[in-house]
A and B are shown apart, each in its own frame.
Chain A
Amino acid sequence: MKGMGRAVWKPLSIGLLLISLIACSEAERGQPEPSDEAPEAAATETPRTEDGLYALGREPLYMTFYAHYGYYTMPKWGADPSSAWIRDKLNVHVKGVSAEGDGKLMLQKMVAGQQLPDVVWGERDADLERLREAGLLVPLDEYIAEYPNLRQWAGEKIINLLRSPDGHIYYFPNYYSNKPYGNAGFVVNKRIYRELGSPKLETTDDLYRYLLRVKTMFPDAVPFETGLAKEGQGIDQLFSSFKEDNFSFTRYFAVANGERMTSIYEDAGFRESALFVAKLMREGLMTQDALVQTEYQVSEKLMAGKAAVYASADPMRMIMTADAELSKADPEDGYFFIEPIYKEGLDPARIYPGTYNVLGWNAAAITTSANNPEAIFALLDWMTGPEGSAVQMWGPPGEDGYWNGFKEDGITPAFTSKYSSDPQGLAEIQALSGDMIWVGNTGYLDKTKSEYEATLPDEDQNWATYWQQNITWRSQGDATPFIKLIPPSSIEEGRIYLKLKEIWLAARAAAMFGRTDEEVLEVLDDAHAASVEAGFDLYLDYITKRWQDNLRVLNND
């Protein structure tokens, strides 16, 4: 009997162990974090202020926040001073939903599983548009009219541009701005430039000659570094050198031609730039790994001072650290921005290596899953206002904070002495702000930021801010008329767009590796023919119409 007992007990205990293991992991996952999860409380009266607006802080506000970017993970809510302050003062509890490394897939999963987060934050592109078309987003028009901040800071024009074809507004813009912003441009290596005698570097011919000399004098260096050319970095900037007023760039495979959008493959400027790129590739004047390299590889070359000229849609991020690294060893070493390269004969003032639009970077949308969309809007509106912006940018207010209330105008923060004495602590708060400012107010932040910079001694001034103010902001083109052109994939034009995109990616790669000029042009002609076969004209009509619609909205004010 003793043996029998063992035969039963052993498997039983194994089974129990297994079950308890499963139960444990379930418990871990299912256990709500007390501060982040909404309790199933009975709905009570919505708290309101005297003007009838939702009063933040009177009742706890729980919301889930999903950023539609594979690389983004929301920092823990309440772990930094700013969000802890918002949590404690306004009783707001945000729980981040991770994209798990693949935003596209994650959003599709949430849609199919019908478990949308309260707020989706991402590009105003096809993915969010599909949510809107399916009626899963909450229209914000009424709230915008009632709540003060977005209306005041964004202004009529931006709000009208946000309007969807059905007349409603679904997106709360982030970093909207009426002034140019952006970092696209050309960067030059100081040491190589000096050792080559600081030649004139303005036109594409200058650039070509310079790159040739780099190749012979510095066989170790990469003459022209593009960044991730697979995504158009570097080569798009070269395209801009060959075309004035190039606002639409390559993103629609079309260029503005009078009143119409026409094929990019037939555009003289684009064809010339394709020949130029292929020539650089053929002669070993640009990075041979352009299409395959990773950001890490690019950064390694920049940090080692191996790139002679570097152009990209956003060189600032990597070049800032590279410059700091190089100039630490030798103050004469590093990188500097040059005025955009242009083709001889074109007007340099009309060359834009990058573009911006007044709607800013991306947008936050409230989904129909939200229990109380108005409360969430009230929070976003507060965040984009002076108090919210200031808290997120300079931390909690107070005597021991970096600012303590506002000056008489009600918007300029009254900075404390700690503001100038503790730049380190401030930098820590601001390092997080990029991830935590979802509805940034560029006008407000930039104004106060540059005022802050002006109080610093020259050598402490931010390298990036210096070049932004002196070169890059000035040379970004206003592409506002070209926003929202991409057709949704639910309609014929959208399906055509996807085919055109495949043709485009293949053609751009093939053209880059063209062995002769004729071969390059043939690739472009073939791509044009293939696009026409896929329905190019229908698509061009569509984007022309959307573009003209935008122009009408813009010219109405």
Chain B
Amino acid sequence: MPQAATEQPYNRPDRRHDRKPFLSRLMKQLDVQLMVWPSIIIIFVFAYIPMYGVLTAFMDYNLFTGARIFDNPWVGFKHFAAFFDAPDFGTILRNTIVISLLKFVIGFPAPILLALMLNEVRHMLFKRFVQTITYLPHFMSWVIVGGVVMSLLSTENGSINIMLQKTGAIDESINFLSIKDYFWTILVSTNVWKEIGFSSIVYLAAIAGVDQHMYEAADIDGASKFKQIYLITVPSIMPVIIIFMILAAGNLLNAGFEDILILAQNPLLRPVSDVIDTYVYRVGLQNQKYSYAVAVGLFKAIISIGLLTLANYLARRSGNSLW
């Protein structure tokens, strides 16, 4: 069978009716299986096995028991109750929801817009240049990005303050990183700046897959560029957008961690910057209240699953669901 190497048995449309024994099917797909199994094993080892640790949310965990977690006393929902009763609970939940919604509403469409715009750029060199420049920040860690942002915004010597003063927009330097009202804006725009280029790669790839004949046909029918974007490009990449939207919904409660930790250095900002993850880090790891931190994290995970399911349900009605 000379074509065996090019044939793709695993992708045959009639695989549901393939009633060959399991093992021989496995052997046939060996190359694909070999690619999948390492990931499955890694997920199993690092995501599923440690999951028994969530049991400590219902215990008073003592670090010195190590992995023998069943030596700890069971305390039921004590830590959950403590979290719901904590004076910071309202603030933290509000910040988590507001920051993640802002990131979603602004950060999600931004790369799509950039991709649409880049797609219309006809000068190849310029397009590549912009693409490279915009996705570079993605590869820098938050410590570096945070350092750059903090130097830009600093009151003394900060480029932004100097620029605003030189142009006469302000008289006195503004202490950007110590004023609560500015924090969300700074946080969200820094995030968009860091991730916009990298996220847009997926959409650019999807756009590249759109059938060029449709544009030619639309041209002949006299559709303007905007019409073409609106009526051809966007609907064509809609499945990709929806899949990413569902995934983003699952991340809704991930308001961010490193970015907030690094940008909100000033304790003054805590009323607007404290989110579930920073709270877990501060209270759980730094103050060593492990069980409490696990309970808070579990609470977040449960809400996230709910959001993901809901988003998927909504998407299924439009025919583009994840499962």
Contacts and interface: CB of A to CB of B under 8 A. Distances in A.
Interface of A: 2-4, 6-8, 10-12, 14-15, 18, 104-105, 108, 111-114, 130, 134, 136, 222, 230, 284, 287-289, 291-294, 296-297, 300-301, 306, 489, 498, 505-506, 508-510, 512-513
Contact of B270 (A8, A12, A289, A506): A506
Contacts of A7: 4-5, 30-31
B286 to A, nearest CB: 6
Interface residues of B, number: 35
19 contacts: A6-B5, A14-B31, A14-B34, A14-B35, A104-B286, A108-B285, A111-B64, A111-B66, A112-B63, A113-B66, A130-B63, A136-B64, A222-B156, A288-B178, A289-B178, A291-B268, A292-B150, A292-B177, A293-B150
B142 to A, nearest CB: 13
Contacts of A513: 178, 268
Contact of B178 (A8, A222, A292, A505): A292
B150 A230 contact: no
Contact of B4 (A4, A134, A291, A489): A4
Contacts, number: 103
Contacts of B13: none
B167 interface: no
A105 B66 contact: no
Given A300-B157, A498-B287, A294 B147 contact: yes
B266 A291 contact: yes
Contact of B265 (A14, A114, A284, A291): A291
B191 to A, nearest CB: 18
Given A14-B34, A506-B270, A289 B154 contact: yes
A506 B66 CA distance: 34
B4 A3 contact: yes
A14 B266 CA distance: 51
* Chain A CB within 10 Å, residue with most, of B5, B154, B156, B286: B156
A302 B175 CA distance: 20
Given A3-B3, A506-B267, 15 more contacts: A4-B1, A6-B4, A7-B31, A11-B34, A112-B66, A113-B67, A130-B63, A288-B175, A292-B150, A292-B266, A294-B147, A297-B151, A297-B154, A510-B268, A512-B268
A282 B262 CA distance: 25
A505 B267 contact: yes
B233 to A, nearest CB: 37
Given A4-B1, A108-B63, A113-B66, A293 B154 contact: yes
A291 B178 contact: yes
Contacts of B175: 288-289
A171 to B, nearest CB: 19
Complex A-B, nearest 4 residue pairs according to Cβ-Cβ distance, in ascending order: A11-B31, A288-B155, A509-B268, A509-B267
Contact of B173 (A3, A288, A294): A288
Contacts of A512: 268
Interface in B149-190: 150-151, 154-157, 172-173, 175, 177-178
A230 B156 contact: no
A532 to B, nearest CB: 15
B34 A489 contact: no
A142 B173 CA distance: 62
Given A288-B156, A288-B175, A301-B156, A10 B266 contact: no
Contacts of A112: 63, 66-67
